[in-house]
Amino acid sequence: MTAASPASVKRAAFAILHHKKLPMNLHLSLVPVVSLLAGVLILVMPKLLNYIVAFYLIAIGLIGLIGLFGGHFHLHL
């Protein structure tokens, strides 16, 4: 974990004291989302297990390949 810069600490303290909203960064990783979705689909539709597992493996493979070439997925709020 990296330490916060003094400027960002001062900005956060100012925002807290003056009740201002700070921008929030949310870094969302796709692998847990795909895994959760696959698990829920298997629970809801167990007859589609083969298709769900195949889709999961393809999706994880593609995410891995994109990750190897510097693809990062970030959601900035």
Q: pLDDT, tens digit, for every residue of 3-40?
A: 667 777 777 777 666 665 656 665 667 788 888 989 99
Residue 43: predicted pLDDT:
92
The H or E element containing residue 50 is: helix 49-68
**DSSP for 10-27, written as a single string:** HHHHHHHHTT-PPP-EE-
Total-model pTM: 0.49
Torsion of CA 52, 55, 60, 65, to 10 degrees: 170
SS3 75: strand
pLDDT tens digits, 50-65: 999 999 899 888 888 8
Q: How confident is the model at residue 44 (pLDDT cuts 50, 70, 90)?
A: very high
Query: How many angstroms separate the Cα of 62 from the Cα of each of 1, 31, 46?
Result: 28, 10, 24
Domain ranges of the chain: 24-76
The residue written with tokens 């997925």 in the block is 73
